[in-house]
Amino acid sequence: MQGDSALAVVDRAWRRGIRPEPPIPVSEWADRNRVLPPTSAEPGRWRTSRTPYLKDVMDALSTASPYERVVLMKGAQTGGTEAGLNWLGYIIHNAPGITMLVQPSLDMVRRNTTVRIDPLIETTPALRELVSPARSRDAGNSLFRKSFPGGQLVMTGANSAAGLRSTPVRYLFLDEVDGYPGDADGEGDPVDLAIQRTATFRGRRRIYMVSTPTLKGHSRIEAAFLDSDQRYFHVPCLHCGDMAPITWARIRWPEGRRDQAFLICESCGGIHHEHDKPALLAAGEWRATTAGDGRTAGFHLSALYSPWETWAEIATEHGRVKSDPPRLQVWVNTKLGESWEDQAGDTVPADPLMARREDWGDRLPELAAVLTAGVDVQGDRLEVQVVAWGADEESWVVEYRVLWGDPSGPRVWADLDSYLATTFAHPKSVADLHIRAACIDTGGHHTKAAYEFCRTRLARRIWAIKGRGGAGIPVWPRRPTRVRGKVPLFIVGVDAVKDALYARLRLTEPGPGAVHFPRRMDGDYFRQLTAERVVTRYDRGRPIRSWQPKRDGERNEALDTFVYATAALHGLVAMGLRLNDEAAAMAMLPTRGAPVMPSTAPAARPALAQIRSRWMG
């Protein structure tokens, strides 16, 4: 009996291995089997009817599909990653094979496994019985590997060449490809390395590329979409029946009422409100606009289609960011699903910036709410820049100071310690502002001395940093690395800050993102601030974008220290600072010397006191 049971198990496994893959499409599998976890926005049974535009995307990944590659260039909150998870479930349950999921970094893989992959398996009964429970000694179910009958899901980061050159794979899921580094451990483009793993399955392989785009000319997802048949989701006008995509140009609102945004038909002028969106999506269809390469199905999907975000919300956010290029770029990328024309590539001249200098007296500007500092370490000096920040990251250069002395000795560091404890007079009736956080570069001269200075001043938020260039590196890391024992080192994505700064330097009117300079800044400061430019070179045919000096040997300490002061602000935000809330509380306070109004002062003072007590310690 025991032998019969074992034989039956072997027989079932053998039959499963030779059984042809059922011709069920991915969307049908998801409707039958997928269960969303309680942590989802809409937990419970998956319904493709909720996002009808994802049906063709998923079905193009099915084993019966004629396409080898599926590209989704998308906005946020559209369900593109969930479609990929449905595909992974379909593979495990219906068409097993070796599968690879690539994310921008190994850290993101760890987080994604916990937040998405494990819940996918645990809440979907059809998958739970095929993937063994996670156990510490079970190599078949870990953060980077999930085994199932007939296949395996391997998960790796685009920054790991070792992971990308592993076993051949039939199915490849490239998630958020525009966040991948340009090179994986010096071995080449991570997308090329990953796709090479599928070469032995040509004709039967499936590759799913999904991402929000970034910069025009540097966006991987846009380049892949342009190689495809370039499909757009057309919806009918409920008045005249004309079919057209939902585009930003068709979103309108009454004067001054973005919260009442609606969709207009360009053929008949018919108006569609948010409550019409489900009917529009249900009657929509994908239409290709070019032939493409014949092997790639490409889909473009903006957040305007999302059932979880309204046209009013998108329009209102546009109103907040439209004047600030860095935040407008994020809106264009994540809401419209379109690439951004690089505004940092051209040279920013120094003279027009110098001509914009302002006088605000001996006190801080009235709108300033938070002070940060950036410190650059040179062989014979320390250079310090203090920047004030207001609502929507409007900024004012407060002071630039050079502290002369040998950084290998204690005196100049003592001078820095004293300077970072300086307070600055504010026109509002509050205590003078102090420097809330400072970043000190440890990547150049006197690294050991810089580490030691920061180690004993962590409580004052004086942080050791190292700048790193390259695409996809965040301004502030999720967690620091540890060096020389217990000193936390924060890796700062300097390219992202420079991109934002150079775009903002072009703003000539006060407001979100604008940068202001005091009258005392001289020509040398502005030449240093504008000393770099963006250069694009090509490596193995892929454009690599980097910041380089305009001229060899030109000093750039003013630029570097502004970058570090900006990084310090992002460090505070990572700790919970709400800059706009602090700016609003500051604005409510009376100006020094002005009479205190009983109706406003009692409410304003406790609000600011509560915020300040949290950060002043």
Which pTM was predicted? 0.82
Q: Is residue 560 part of a domain?
A: yes
Q: Are residues 144 and 226 in the same domain?
A: yes
Where helices occur in 535-576 by DSSP H, the ranges are 557-574
Q: How many CB atoms lie within 10 A of CB 568?
A: 31
Q: Are residues 357 and 305 in the same domain?
A: no
Q: Read off the pLDDT of residues 90-102 as tens digits, 9 standing for 90 and up.
A: 999 999 999 999 9
Q: Is residue 249 part of a domain?
A: no
Provide the pLDDT for residue 479: 86
Q: Is residue 617 part of a domain?
A: no
Range(s) of the domain holding residue 440: 350-577
Q: How many Cα atoms sit within 13 Å of 530 on the Cβ side?
A: 18
Q: Is residue 193 part of a domain?
A: yes
Q: Are residues 557 and 429 in the same domain?
A: yes
Q: Are residues 297 and 401 in the same domain?
A: no
Q: Are residues 434 and 300 in the same domain?
A: no
Q: Are residues 401 and 301 in the same domain?
A: no
Q: Are residues 303 and 437 in the same domain?
A: no
Q: Are residues 425 and 497 in the same domain?
A: yes
Q: Are residues 405 and 550 in the same domain?
A: yes
Low-confidence ranges of the chain (pLDDT < 50): 1-3, 136, 595-617
3-state secondary structure 235-301: EECCCCCCEEECCHHHEECCCCCHHHCEEECCCCCCEECHHHHHHHHHCCEEEECCCCCCCEEEEEE
CATH number at residue 47: 3.40.50.300
CATH number at residue 387: 3.30.420
Q: Are residues 302 and 398 in the same domain?
A: no
Q: Is residue 452 part of a domain?
A: yes
Report the chain's mean pLDDT, rounded to a whole number: 88
Q: Is residue 569 part of a domain?
A: yes
Burial of 357 (0-12, 13-18, 19+ CB in 10 A): middle
Q: Are residues 298 and 446 in the same domain?
A: no
Q: Is residue 261 part of a domain?
A: no
The number of distinct structural domains making up the chain is 2
Annotate 448-479 with b (16+ C-beta within 10 A) or e (fewer).
ebbbbbbbebeebbbbbbbbeeebbbebbbee
Provide the pLDDT for residue 429: 67
Q: Are residues 305 and 391 in the same domain?
A: no
d(CA 379, CA 444) in angstroms, rounded, equals 9
Q: Is residue 81 part of a domain?
A: yes
Reading the block at residue 84, the tokens are 């990929």
